[in-house]
Amino acid sequence: MFIDLHMHEMRYSKDSFLKLEEMVVIAKEKGLDAICITDHDSMGLKKFAQEYSKLVDFPIFVGIEFYSLQGDIIAFGIEEYPDHRVSAQEFIDYVKERGGVCYSAHPFRNNRRGLEGHLNEVTGLDGIEVLNGSTKTDACRTAAEYAKKLGLIPVGASDCHVPEKVGICATYFPQDIRTPDDLVKAFQEGGMLPAYYLDGAYHTLDMDAFLAGEMTVDPASM
C-alpha cells in the first residue's frame, strides 16, 4: 500500500488550503491507498475524518504534527497530546508510554522546524521523514543518512497544504493497513520505504542509490 503520512487540512491547520473532501479525491486519482491528516498541534479533525472515511470507503487516519521545543514530530496512535510545548524527548516518551509511534518530520528542511542534530540526542523515534514534499534533495539525503546511521525507518510524505502537493511523496507499506492499529503495528514491524509520484505512478526510493548520489529526487520541485 502507498500512504501519504503527513498532510494538513484547513479546518485545523490554518496555513492549509485543503479540505478533506478534496484531499480524498486527489489521493484516489493518484493511486494512494490511504491518507493521514497530521495537523499542527491538533487532532481536532479526528471524529469528522472517521465518519467521512466510512462514507467514502477510504482509509483516513488522524495523527498530529507536534511542535516540540527542538522541532516537529509526527505521531500516531495517541488519543491526546501535551497542551503546551515540551522537549522532543518528553513528547517521544509521552507517545511511547501510550503505545503510539512517532517519527521526525523534515529534520533538515531550512525552516528551523526540524530536529536536525537533535536526532543524535533523542531516543525512541520509530522513523525519519526522508522524502518530504517541500524539502530539497540535499536535505532529504541528509535525512536518509541519519535514518541509516540510527537504524530508523525511512518514510516519505507530501506535507501538503495545497492541492498540487497532495500525494507528491508517500510511504510504501508491505502490510495491509485498514485501521489505526494496523498503522501503529506496521511502524513496529518496519519494512516501509519512501516513495515519490512520477509519470502517473508511485516509485519506491532506492535508498542505496540515493545515498550514493546516483539518483536525485527533488520533492520541492515536483
Find the CATH number of the domain harbouring 183: 3.20.20.140
Domain count, the chain: 1
- Residue 221 belongs to a domain: no
User: Do the domain assignments include residue 171?
Assistant: yes
Q: So what's the pLDDT on residue 112?
A: 87
Question: Is residue 202 included in any domain, yes or no?
Answer: yes
- Residue 210 domain flag: yes
pLDDT at 66: 98
Residue 190 backbone phi and psi in degrees, to 5: 80, -165
Grid cell, residue 195, equals 516513495
Check residue 32 and give its pLDDT.
Answer: 98
Burial class (CB in 10 A: 0-12, 13-18, 19+), 199: exposed
Asked if the structure places residue 222 within a domain, the reply is no
Tell the burial category of 92 from Cβ atoms under 10 Å away from its Cβ (0-12, 13-18, 19+): buried
Element (H, E) at 75: strand 72-76
Q: What is the pLDDT of residue 71?
A: 98
Q: Which three cell numbers stand for residue 25?
A: 479525491
Where in the sequence is the domain holding 105, given as residue range(s)?
2-214
Is there a domain that residue 11 lies in?
yes
**Are the CB atoms for 175 and 184 separated by under 8 Å?**
no
Please report whether residue 65 resides in a domain.
Answer: yes
* Interior angle at CA 220, CA 22 and CA 149, nearest 5: 110
Q: For the chain (length 222 residues), average pLDDT per consecutive 10?
A: 98 98 98 98 98 98 98 98 98 98 97 95 98 97 98 98 98 97 97 97 97 94 90
**Cα 176 from Cα 106, distance rounded (Å):** 26
The answer to whether position 184 is within a domain reads: yes
User: What is the distance between the alpha carbons of residues 25 and 22, in angstroms, rounded to a whole number?
Assistant: 5
Report the pLDDT value the prediction gives residue 111, as an integer from 0 to 100: 86
